[in-house]
Amino acid sequence: MGFTANFNQVHAIHHYADADWFFNKISPVKSAKWNKHERPLGRRSAWHYRLERGQDAAHYDVCLYHTKMIRYVKPDQHGYREVYIRGHDSNTSRAFLAHNIHQCYNGHGARFTDTENTVRFVPFSPYTHGADWSARLVFDPNGRLVVERSEHLPIYRRVVTTEQSAARAELRKQLKVINMLAALRMDTYRANAEWEEMRAYKETLATRTINNLKRDVQRYGKDLNDADFVTSILESLGQKVFDNLYSHYLTKKDMIVGSRWSMSGQHLRDSASTLATNITVKQFTAAFERAVMQVFSLNGKDGREAYPDFMPSSDVPKTYLW
């Protein structure tokens, strides 16, 4: 869990007129730490929450520590106004954005109604790659978003490329025989089963073995045509994959606590090998295949695809928002 500041005592700035009114209302802080163009948004000693006025009040910057998070530009003669927003991946920065921007999704982005009366989603990407702002938005005199004059940095979703998909298919062909050999070893895996309580965010029993085998693939070019490498996968990785399934089973049944049998486990168990028969061949081969995919770095998504700009809010994936 990350740290998040409390903004209950910090004034929220929602637009240029609000910033101009607040700046002129608050008297300057008489301190060497403060400049004449700065005003505190909260306690007068809290320089890290402040409002900065640009030259001739051409714009106001809402600042968090040393970062200008939002810039409200003075409306032009026709009433059109610009707003610049900078995203950030810290909990405090996202909460600060949500405090100052209406209909904000946890600081990840916000909803705005455009000139066609369509509710659009604007993401506040934290990955600016050298850009000063994540989004530059233009609003008409009625407060509607002018999409054709606005822009924002893209956001992406992870995808599996065609090359990765083809490599997975080829590996699965090679794994057919190896899966059969691993299934024939089930009695050995059961007899040698080890276990420990599985908890959230805890490294699995197979992780270290997977990483060691992955190193052999990356450094020495090992593959499934190498008989010794295949033997190592069957003996070491196969056993650890089974141990991992077995540990999950015992944990789920509340039969173990840490590295000891629980009261219910001590009462119910016959023997470790007997309980291990609850792990089926189908369960094992599926987990074993996933582990081998990790060894060859084929388990994840290796590509990315940009979402459409200013997409309707109903199309925003929940995985991005939360």
Span 45-101, pLDDT tens digits: 999 999 999 999 999 999 999 999 999 999 999 999 999 999 998 999 999 999 999
Is 8 within a domain? no
* Mean pLDDT value across residues 105-120: 95
Is 51 within a domain? yes
* Mean pLDDT value across residues 103-125: 95
For residue 34, pLDDT over 80 is answered with yes
Same domain as 180, residue 130 = no
Same domain as 147, residue 206 = no
Residue 96: CB partners within 8 Å, gap ≥ 6? 5, 7, 64, 69, 107
Is 219 within a domain? yes
Is 7 within a domain? no
Question: 7 and 35 in contact (C-beta within 8 Å)?
Answer: no
Same domain as 265, residue 204 = yes
pLDDT-derived band at 1, boundaries 50, 70, 90: very low
Cα separation of 20 and 53, whole Å?
8
Same domain as 150, residue 122 = yes
Where in the chain does DSSP place strands (E)? 38-40, 49-53, 59-64, 67-73, 81-85, 109-113, 119-123, 135-139, 151-152, 156-159, 256-257, 260-261, 303-306
> pLDDT digits over 234-251, tens only?
999 999 999 999 888 888
Q: What is each CA distance from 306 to 1, 140, 149, 156, 157, in whole angstroms?
A: 29, 28, 20, 4, 6
For residue 263, pLDDT over 80 is answered with no
- Retrieve residue 38's tokens: 């700065």
> pLDDT digits over 142-173, tens only?
999 999 999 999 989 999 999 999 999 999 99
Q: Helices (DSSP H) in 101-161: which residue ranges? A: none
Is 9 within a domain? no
Is 255 within a domain? yes
For residue 273, pLDDT over 90 is answered with no
Is 100 within a domain? yes
Same domain as 54, residue 143 = yes
> What is the structure's pLDDT at 271?
59
Domain count for the chain: 2
The pTM of the whole model exceeds 0.85: no
Residue 284: CB partners within 8 Å, gap ≥ 6? 182, 183, 186, 189, 241, 242, 245
DSSP letter at 224 equals T
Same domain as 149, residue 80 = yes
Same domain as 87, residue 177 = no
Share of the chain above pLDDT 70, in %: 92
Is 3 within a domain? no
Judged by DSSP in three states, 70 sits in strand
- Of 24-28, 121-125, 189-193, 231-235, least confident by mean pLDDT is 189-193
Cα separation of 151 and 134, whole Å?
9
Domain range spanning residue 254?
160-295
